[in-house]
Amino acid sequence: MYLLRLALASLNNRRFTALLTVFAIALSVCLLLAVERVRTEARASFASTISGTDLIVGARSGSVNLLLYSVFRIGNATNNIRWESFEHFAEHPRVSWAIPISLGDSHRGYRVMGTSSAYFEHYRYGRKQPLQLAQGRPFADDPFEVVLGAEVAEALKYKLDDQLVLAHGVATVSLVKHDDKPFHVVGILKRTGTPVDRTLHINLAGMEALHIDWQNGMPARGAARIDAEEARQMDLQPKQITAFMLGLNSKIATFTLQREINQFRGEPLLAILPGVALQELWSLMGTAEQALFVVSLFVVLTGLIGMLTAILTSLNERRREMAILRSVGARPWHIAGLLVVEALSLALAGALLGLLLLYIAIAVAQGPLQSHYGLYLPLALPSAYEWSLLAGILLAGLLMGCVPAWRAYRQSLADGLSIRL
């Protein structure tokens, strides 16, 4: 206990240097814990980009490819699915609900998705949170209504009742536009931090109406063209879609239905479990995640080396202090212990201050992170792994303190009291 009192008194005597050292360690600890917490929550958020959906079904390809185009709107499907196949599984006794998805068009770089009203009713993200409208309503029976994701509306400055023209294909700049069939905005979704924010949602009938007069991948010319009013009067039942999502009555039936879909004789289909495919996709991105964590570890190490440098630098200035302690009966191991306790005190103070800075940063950034990136950072106590990281930092500080302690241990009484000219 007396060593702790001596160490604190000594640090107080050099308070400016000690405070700088503590602050450097605190910043590095805060960075390390922030990176770890963001990694953990980003993984959880990534895994919950879609939640509550038991199976995603598309044309047979790879599971990651199916996940990318159906959930993240990245890439394209290898093939489409017949509407009859969708109806077959939508009416399956084990299926509670089904959401059809039709992709292929875009608007100024943002993907357009044709779907049904079931999308707004059953689609979930995050912790099974439903989609909510910031303004307006979902699309109804009119095929030329569109509901915008939050990012689309914000970036392109759209408001309710604005009109927009969709483009054929998914390129940022398209030479072929559906300018004869404009859509008007009836709703804008609240921000979710998921690909939903970057999507324009239209009715499946609207997607069918856009291409009803197309032949061999090209729009009709002259009298063969069908305008919006004529399209409204026609049968707009889709003949094919890109993919569909299924929610089951019982989770127990998931693997049974997945096998049934994968062995479906009507056409080659692939059914994937979203959670499994998301983890597979995350594992492909794990290198960057680990690199960020390693960088933050090196930042902590740099802070501890700064502490070591500060203590070593102060040794020459403190030789007389240590010699006086030796002259009043302190043993060499007392001097060594004093420096170890100082180093441990600095590391502990830095770790605690770093933890405090972390919670302040989370409290400030929690709202913007959730609304813009869908990343929720809770103000929770450190996890077991985070406690182990803090314990590792304290242990490293203790080991760093052993270096100046060993040097001080070997210093002689005469060396401290001698006068150098």
Task: Indicate the number of domains in the chain.
Answer: 2
Residue 32, pLDDT score: 85
Is the residue at 228 inside a domain? yes
What local confidence, expressed as pLDDT, does residue 306 receive?
79
Model confidence over 165-179: pLDDT tens digits?
Answer: 998 876 666 657 888
Residue 413 has a pLDDT of 46
> Does 215 share its domain with 183?
yes
Q: What pLDDT, on a 0 to 100 scale, did the predictor assign at position 371? A: 63
The pLDDT, as a whole number, for residue 38 is: 83
Look at residue 120 and tell me if it is in a domain.
Answer: yes
Residue 375 backbone phi and psi in degrees, to 5? -105, 115
Domain assignment present for residue 281? The answer is: no
Pick from 303, 133, 99, 351: which is nearest to 204 by CA? Answer: 99
Q: Is the pTM of this model over 0.85?
A: no
Do residue 297 and residue 244 come from a single domain?
A: no
Same domain flag for 105 and 237: yes
| Model pLDDT, residue 44 | 73
Judgement on whether residues 185 and 246 belong to the same structural domain of the protein: yes
Q: Domain of residue 14: give its range.
A: 2-46+286-417
| Beta-ladder partners of 361 | none
166 within 8 A of 206, measured Cβ to Cβ: no
Q: What is the pLDDT at residue 421?
A: 45
pLDDT at residue 205, as a whole number:
92
Asked if residue 277 is part of any domain, the answer here is: no
In one-letter notation, the amino acid at residue 218 is: M
Residues of the chain scoring pLDDT < 70: 1-13, 170-175, 215-224, 286, 315-334, 370-374, 409-421
Same domain? 40 vs 61: no
Residue 248 domain flag: yes
User: pLDDT tens, 316-338?
Assistant: 666 666 666 666 666 666 677 77
24 and 90 in a single domain? The answer is no
Q: Is 278 part of a structural domain of the chain?
A: no
Based on the fold, state whether residues 247 and 350 are members of the same structural domain. Answer: no
CA atoms of 334 and 258, how far apart (whole Å): 70
Question: pLDDT at position 327, please?
Answer: 61
Q: 59 and 42 share a domain?
A: no
Assess if residue 93 is contained within a domain.
yes
End residue of a domain, out of 248, 272, 296:
272
Do residues 177 and 136 share a domain?
yes
Nearby residues of 42 by Cβ (< 8 Å), 6 or more positions away: 289, 375
In a domain, 280, yes or no: no
If asked whether residues 69 and 202 sit together in one domain, one would say yes
